[in-house]
Amino acid sequence: MEINDEIEDVETEDFDENTEKRRTEYNRIIKLYIQSMEQDGLAKLTISRHCECLDLFLNEYLAYEHEITVQDAVQYASEYFGYTFIRDFAQSADSIKTHAASIKRFYKWLLGQGLVTKEGYAGFCRDIGDSNIRKWKKDFEQYYDLTKPDPFMEDF
Q: Is the dihedral of CA 105, 106, 107, 109 positive or negative?
A: positive
pLDDT of residue 131: 93
- The reported pLDDT for the residue numbered 48 is 95
Residues of the chain with pLDDT under 50: 1-12, 156
What per-residue confidence (pLDDT) applies to 156? 44
pTM of the model: 0.83
Q: Give the 3-state secondary structure of residue 119.
A: helix
User: What does the pLDDT read at residue 15?
Assistant: 57
Q: Cα(12)–Cα(17) distance, rounded to whole angstroms?
A: 8
The crossing angle, in degrees rounded to 10, of helices 93-112 and 130-143 is 140
What percentage of residues in the chain have a pLDDT greater than 70? 88
Q: What is the pLDDT at residue 72?
A: 85
pLDDT score of 9:
43
pLDDT score for 155: 54
Reference 116, options 12, 51, 50, 33; nearest CA is 33
